[in-house]
Structure 1
Amino acid sequence: MKPLDPRLVRTAAAVRTHLAVSVVSGVLVTGLILVQAWLLAHAIAGAADGAGTDTLGWAITAVAVVAVLRALLSYAAEASALHSAARTKSQLRRRLVAHVTGSGRVWTAEPGAGGEPGSPKAGELVTLATRGLDALDDYFARYLPQLVLAAIVPLAVLTVVFWADWISGIVILVTLPLIPVFMALIGMHTQARTDRQWRLLSRLGGHFLDVVEGLPTLAVFRRAKAQAAIIRRVGEEHRRATMGTLRVAFLSAFALELLATLAVALVAVEIGLRLLGGHMDYQTALLVLILAPEAYLPLREVGARFHASMEGVAAAEQVFTELDRTRGTARRAPGAGVEPRRAPPPTGAASPATAGDIRFEGVGVRYPGRDLPALSGLDLDVRAGEHVLLTGPSGAGKSTLLSLLLRLNEPGQGRISVRPPGGEWTPLEEVPAEDWRRGIAWVPQHPYLFDVSVADNIRLGAPDASMERVREAARRAEADAFVSGLPQGYDTRLGERGARLSAGQRQRIALARALCRDAPLVLLDEPTAHLDPENAAAVRTAVARLLEGRTAVIVAHDAGWAAGALGAAPRVVSLPLPSPERSVPR
């Protein structure tokens, strides 16, 4: 384990500030330690020689002032460290969230839908971003300052001791390296335990979140007790790993304390013998005896703080591993076309290209770990205002095609081009992802509804929408009737994932959300899957209103969509199961 991960210094500006503050405070603390030791030796030796308070009053006062200054400096340094830790955690969390949700690529945890082999689950990411990074407080507030002191104080103390008594300096110089040697040996033994403890904690958090989210299904199939037993077993493994790490921490603290105590005892013995023989004056002996423990103290504290800070360091390493992982399952194969140019910065407005034509040319997508591509050689033109119905067997790549239009993935082969009304063809990758998505209304098969009011769920894609606009969107989505019957109407909280609504009602809220967004490009993924005939008919009616005057790409197995459910029969494109050689015709 590196004492200071250089990636932390490069990534978080607060770390660089904290290091500068730690070095300055370490130098000041070192100076105060030396001054306090000399003042104490001078005052005690003077008192032993019979000097009164009139002679030693200034020294006693100076000792008190130095003690107060050390306390104030320690308080200020720790407060600054905690502030730096808070800023660093905030920066790392923002980078992690931006990495998995922003920058034009979105992390998804579903197998084959965005996660790479070895990618953490959503629950593990939550544990990492919360409990894991919180452990950085000990690293910043206690470990790093002690690391700086361990680099400065022993050298300064050795210099003064050699100047005062070279024999004691040699004893300290010989015994001092034993502490970092033992620290390194103990640290190597602890590293594996700390990593295992963190992995078990992440696994426990991720599995617990999965179980809580799937509890209704587990209860229906009478598997809740089995999952509770698994959580109990993983929790017990984490407990044993934590206790093992703590046991090593306590034993290492005992070993370091014993080494430091024996080393100081050697210095005290040789000083005592020479003092009795008259080969050393009393003030020098006191100065060396006061400074000797200070030479070992920072190293002992580094060893003690090492274990408390390692969980945060392990979490930070996993954050960097996650940040280094390439997101987006579709990668451009080596030699497959020209490397994409960087898109211009987002403008904050919907891209005009979403209201224009879209063209797929030889588009191929391959997910990591799969032998066959998800899409292979797809050629498809979608004209502005056209409604395209995608059909085909499961695994044909229908949802993958939607993910390409949503900019959640990128094609590994071929290219996607867009042409705004009256404009020229442009590669989609040159359009800012944020601007592109602003012009899209997406209704997934399982829309996510948040535990907020109905109105807030509907205006998710249009935060500034008025209540009248929300009601109109709900009315056109065939949702106004059942929403009005809820206890607080549009102010009713829906519960997590819309728990208070049926599947058909959730789908109509999602359609109202798309209507409220008023985007020129609409993407729908199986909007009537798993719905009863009555709800499916209501959803089709709402979809027909949603698609008026808009470009639409609809994924559906339901034959009712091709039978004029949208008012006019859409163009049907059937996607076959892809193979490396197969090309999908226009």
Structure 2
Amino acid sequence: MPASPSPLWRSLLLYREIPRHFTLTALLFLLGNIAFAAQQWLVGRTVHALEVGAADGARAALDGVLHWSAWLLGAALLRGVLQYGAGLSSLISGQQLLTLLRERILVQVQRLDLGYHWRHGVGELVTRTTRDADKLRDALINFWRQVFELTLVVTATLAVLAWYHPGLAIVPLLLIGIAVTLFLRQTDHLVTLDRAVGAAYDEVNQELSEGVNGVRVIKSFVLEGQRADRFEAQIAVFMRQATAALAYACARVPVPQAVVALGQVWILVFGLHLVETGRLHRGELVAALLMANVLIFRAEGVGRVMQIFADARSSAARIWELLDAEPAIHGGTATLPDRPLGLALDGVGVRAPGGSTAILDGCALCIAPGEVVALVGATGAGKSTLVSLLPRLLDADTGHLRLGDDTTGWTDLRDLRLDALRRAVQVVPQEAFLFSDTLAANLKLAAPHADDAELQRALHIACADEVVERLHDGLRTRVGDRGITLSGGQRQRLALARALLARPRLLALDDATSALDALTEQRVLGRLRALRREPGGGTTVLMVASKLSTVLQADRVLLLIDGRIAAEGRHDDLTAHRAYRELLGLD
């Protein structure tokens, strides 16, 4: 199997996505460097005209200089226009590729399962989307400025030098080869250093993200100073890593530049010898020295671009690690009938990340279509994990989960299309998440084409219509980040209305009424129970419950202990179970 190209080359291959801009930019740089070579040649012709014309008189010398100077001015103006166009085109191309890359990252982040997000954290994903993508963009732009153009400049310069005399080109070519070898040997260590910088930057982003998202906890426990110290410590680690990388680059990069500079000494010494022997005129020697200056100047640029490309190699590797990651959860091809769904678990087991602790162990249960069931258990018993299995946000390690009924049969969740499953099964978590947008936009995430009647129905069932009525702009009200402008109970009701707008056939409430007062909760759950009277049998409801008021609204109660269902039945039947009484505070 052929080896895949390096991450940086894979990034450069993205130019295939914009072939017209790529071709235009390459053509402009090519023409610009042809004009540059012509400039150097014209300088030599101008000096030579002055030298030859001096023998024929001042007038002849002036005419020759003016003639070639006019051509030189024209070449300079043409090169300026071409360079401007090439630079602008390369910047546009770089921004297009950065947009394309970030779109792919965003799509991939949405594709990946929750397990991946838990392992890598917000800080790392933000770093790859921002810092790493920016570094890669710099490399993609500098590909034109430093790599492509440098190749053209070196080729044109060595060609003109070889035209003057092969000996003028051979030594600079060898020195350039030595310098590039030294640069490449340094690059691997620069990449290692930059990966360490990137890892430190991940920690800075993670610390910053937690500081912003946990600001209420920080203020409540007067932790501002402690968090500031932690953040300062992370910044100090980042600064040490960044300083080490910069120190290495500053110490090592000038060496190859000095090697290239030796080429100018060779051209001067050997060129004077050729002039003395009549094999090179003075104008050509001047042009050759100018070209040597250009090579030295470009060699200084190579040091900078090698630093950029070393950073980009590390960033490209981190980005393609993300883009190449395969989601652990894949859908099947089956679909679901448009009616209430029953749920069956058979020997379901789930282990914590790392496989050390069993969260669910041989869990089995059955819920009939249209039934309202409460799930109770101690903190850490696995209730939220069980609920996350239903839309396949997580997958069970062992056992089977099925949807359906005894009449039409049961379908394993792994055989279902993910989009069909997640439209049919809605989970409302305890911590309701709202985007920084209008209420209407947040609600319509589940049903973009919902009309006003459907909105009002969902709001009414969730008792969220009264929330909207109190807001000055109603559904056009913009909520802050994560719905911060609303109370916890208001967010929970709106999140429930959003889920109901999708008309789910199985609705799972993960303690999603915990912030509601007893009266409002009773009204919400009563309206959910009334859904079964709708045509088609309504919605099956599984409620993770921690309050007696919630449990009393259920047809049946499941008691989860040590990762499995230890008892089930009506509330009155389970009051004889000691663990059940302790959980609900009935003793």
Match of 1:498 in 2: 483
1:481-496 mapped onto 2 (5 Å cutoff) = 481-496=466-481
2:331–2:418 Cα contact (<8 Å) kept: no
Match of 2:395 in 1: 410
Q: CA 1:223–1:535 in structure 2 vs 1: closer, same or farther (change >3 Å)?
A: farther
Which of 439, 442, 461 is matched with 1:476 structurally? 461
Match of 2:202 in 1: 202
1:504–1:535 Cα contact (<8 Å) kept: no
Which of 485, 491, 500 is matched with 1:515 structurally? 500
Match of 1:36 in 2: 39
Q: CA 1:529–1:167 in structure 2 vs 1: closer, same or farther (change >3 Å)?
A: same
Residue type matched to 2:175 in 1?
T
Residue type matched to 1:392 in 2?
G
Distance (Å, rounded) in 2 between the aligned partners of 1:16 and 1:544: 59
Q: CA deviation at 1:178?
A: 3.1
Q: CA 1:322–1:537 in structure 2 vs 1: closer, same or farther (change >3 Å)?
A: same
SS at match of 1:300: helix
Worse-matched range after superposition: 126-135 or 41-50: 126-135
1:419–1:425 Cα contact (<8 Å) kept: yes
Q: CA 1:53–1:409 in structure 2 vs 1: closer, same or farther (change >3 Å)?
A: farther
Distance (Å, rounded) in 2 between the aligned partners of 1:300 and 1:460: 53
Question: Unaligned 5+ residue runs, structure 2?
Answer: 54-59, 570-587
Q: CA 1:23–1:206 in structure 2 vs 1: closer, same or farther (change >3 Å)?
A: same
1:143–1:302 Cα contact (<8 Å) kept: no
1:115-514 mapped onto 2 (5 Å cutoff) = 115=117, 117=119, 119=120, 121-251=121-251, 254-276=254-276, 278=278, 280-308=280-308, 310-328=310-328, 343=333, 351-352=336-337, 355-419=340-404, 425-514=410-499
Worse-matched range after superposition: 30-39 or 440-449: 30-39
Q: CA deviation at 1:226?
A: 0.5
SS at match of 1:280: coil
Distance (Å, rounded) in 2 between the aligned partners of 1:131 and 1:280: 52
Match of 1:82 in 2: 91
Q: CA 1:129–1:290 in structure 2 vs 1: closer, same or farther (change >3 Å)?
A: same
Q: CA deviation at 1:229?
A: 1.6
Residue type matched to 1:73 in 2?
L
Q: CA 1:264–1:15 in structure 2 vs 1: closer, same or farther (change >3 Å)?
A: farther
The structure that has the greater radius of gyration is 2
Q: CA 1:20–1:360 in structure 2 vs 1: closer, same or farther (change >3 Å)?
A: farther
Q: CA deviation at 1:168?
A: 1.9
Residue type matched to 1:440 in 2?
V
2:47–2:65 Cα contact (<8 Å) kept: no
Match of 1:48 in 2: 51
1:469–1:516 Cα contact (<8 Å) kept: yes
Match of 1:552 in 2: 541
1:93-104 mapped onto 2 (5 Å cutoff) = 93-102=102-111
Q: CA 1:156–1:493 in structure 2 vs 1: closer, same or farther (change >3 Å)?
A: closer
Q: CA deviation at 1:56?
A: 5.6
SS at match of 1:391: strand
2:361–2:562 Cα contact (<8 Å) kept: no
Match of 1:6 in 2: 9
2:158–2:169 Cα contact (<8 Å) kept: yes
Distance (Å, rounded) in 1 between the aligned partners of 2:133 and 2:61: 56
Distance (Å, rounded) in 2 between the aligned partners of 1:439 and 1:186: 56
Residue type matched to 1:550 in 2?
T
SS at match of 1:575: strand
Q: CA 1:361–1:86 in structure 2 vs 1: closer, same or farther (change >3 Å)?
A: farther
Q: CA 1:172–1:439 in structure 2 vs 1: closer, same or farther (change >3 Å)?
A: same
Q: CA 1:81–1:434 in structure 2 vs 1: closer, same or farther (change >3 Å)?
A: farther
Count of matched residue positions in the alignment of Structure 1 and Structure 2: 555
SS at match of 2:348: strand
Residue type matched to 1:554 in 2?
M
Residue type matched to 1:65 in 2?
G
Deviations 1:10-34 (A, max 9, x none): 6674477776666545543443333
SS at match of 2:445: helix
Q: CA 1:140–1:225 in structure 2 vs 1: closer, same or farther (change >3 Å)?
A: same
1:520–1:551 Cα contact (<8 Å) kept: yes
2:190–2:311 Cα contact (<8 Å) kept: no
With normalisation by structure 1, the TM-score equals 0.82
Root-mean-square deviation (CA, aligned residues, Å) is: 3.6
SS at match of 2:486: coil
Residue type matched to 2:130 in 1?
T
2:430–2:514 Cα contact (<8 Å) kept: yes
Deviations 1:528-575 (A, max 9, x none): 336554554455345445666212222223344443x14xx13x3333
1:504–1:536 Cα contact (<8 Å) kept: no
**Which structure has more helix as a fraction of its residues?**
2
1:61 aligns with 2:70: yes
Distance (Å, rounded) in 2 between the aligned partners of 1:232 and 1:447: 32
1:353–1:420 Cα contact (<8 Å) kept: no
Distance (Å, rounded) in 1 between the aligned partners of 2:71 and 2:200: 52
SS at match of 1:135: helix
Q: CA deviation at 1:395?
A: 3.8
Distance (Å, rounded) in 1 between the aligned partners of 2:324 and 2:213: 29
Deviations 1:461-518 (A, max 9, x none): 2233334543443333223334423344444333223323332222222222233332
Question: Unaligned 5+ residue runs, structure 1?
Answer: 332-339, 345-349
Distance (Å, rounded) in 2 between the aligned partners of 1:78 and 1:546: 64
Q: CA deviation at 1:312?
A: 4.6
Distance (Å, rounded) in 1 between the aligned partners of 2:425 and 2:16: 36
1:158–1:295 Cα contact (<8 Å) kept: no
Distance (Å, rounded) in 1 between the aligned partners of 2:567 and 2:15: 47
Worse-matched range after superposition: 418-427 or 79-88: 418-427
Q: CA deviation at 1:53?
A: 5.8
1:41–1:286 Cα contact (<8 Å) kept: yes
2:197–2:238 Cα contact (<8 Å) kept: yes
Distance (Å, rounded) in 1 between the aligned partners of 2:6 and 2:268: 32
Residue type matched to 1:556 in 2?
A
* Seq. identity, %: 26
SS at match of 1:523: strand
1:362–1:414 Cα contact (<8 Å) kept: yes
Q: CA deviation at 1:246?
A: 4.3
SS at match of 1:374: strand
